[in-house]
Amino acid sequence: MSFSLTRRLGVVIVVPFLLVGCTPPPLASTVAYQHQGGKQIALVTPYIPPQESVVSLAPTTVAGTIGPAFGIVGGLIGGSIEADAAAKRNKTFTGLLTQDNFSAEPLLATAITKQLDVEGYTVTRISVPRPQGDFLSPYTPSSTPQLDVVLVQLGYYKGGLGAPYQPMVELKYRLIASNGTTTLAQGAFQYSGMKGDQKPDPQFNYANFADIKANPELADKALSAVLTTAGVSVAEGLN
């Protein structure tokens, strides 16, 4: 077995563990914000993944379907081809959304800000670079608590053979005290067909990826809606 194939298979071995569950990293139980005096929050730039995802727990290629019938090596080779197909789907999907002027960060930030306004908070924005897919570390002390939101995954999810592609979003958040170290509140939100805080609206379903490519405008509308739902959930979770 060549080094290049071995390296590719090494990547594939990890894939099932990334897909199973599709849940944010474990957090402690949700903690609401016990504010003292004025309700002020600084929303730092949310982390957004570099690509939207199209996840399928069912094989989408012939090799991925029949590979396991040829033993461990066949299964690994089939898995490698599946991983390549998934990467291409994600790239294509992200490109289609970009052409439709979809942008997750302002949608999520606006939804959080509007709901915090409804909850009686005064919200300011802090612009920070987000090179890594996790919470900021360390935090710079500020005059108000800082709300840090990490979008773990955004896109479409297919739960198995015969299942439709449905919109999904997963995020986690925490509120850090003005001292930059104390966690005042934290939580997570999941919108998914497999499990989560809210089930997907069937009007946004696709039968297959070809349908997504033919009508990306529906996906734009769906993901805009689920980001708004997620943003509202974050703001409400602080109370």
Q: Where are the domains of the chain?
A: 24-59+101-237
- The vertex-196 CA angle with 174 and 90, nearest 5°, equals 85
162 within 8 A of 205, measured Cβ to Cβ = no
Options 3.40.50, 2.40.360, 3.30.9, 3.55.50; CATH for 24-59+101-237 is 3.40.50
* DSSP string computed for 167-192: EEEEEEEEEE-TTSS-EEEEEEEEE-
CA 73 centroid distance within chain: 32
Q: Print pLDDT tens along the chain (239 aa).
A: 433 333 333 333 333 333 334 444 445 455 556 665 568 899 999 999 998 988 776 556 544 455 565 567 556 665 676 777 778 888 999 999 999 999 999 999 999 999 999 988 999 999 999 878 899 989 989 889 999 999 999 999 988 888 899 999 999 999 999 899 999 889 999 987 666 677 788 999 999 999 999 999 999 999 999 999 999 999 998 87
pTM: 0.78
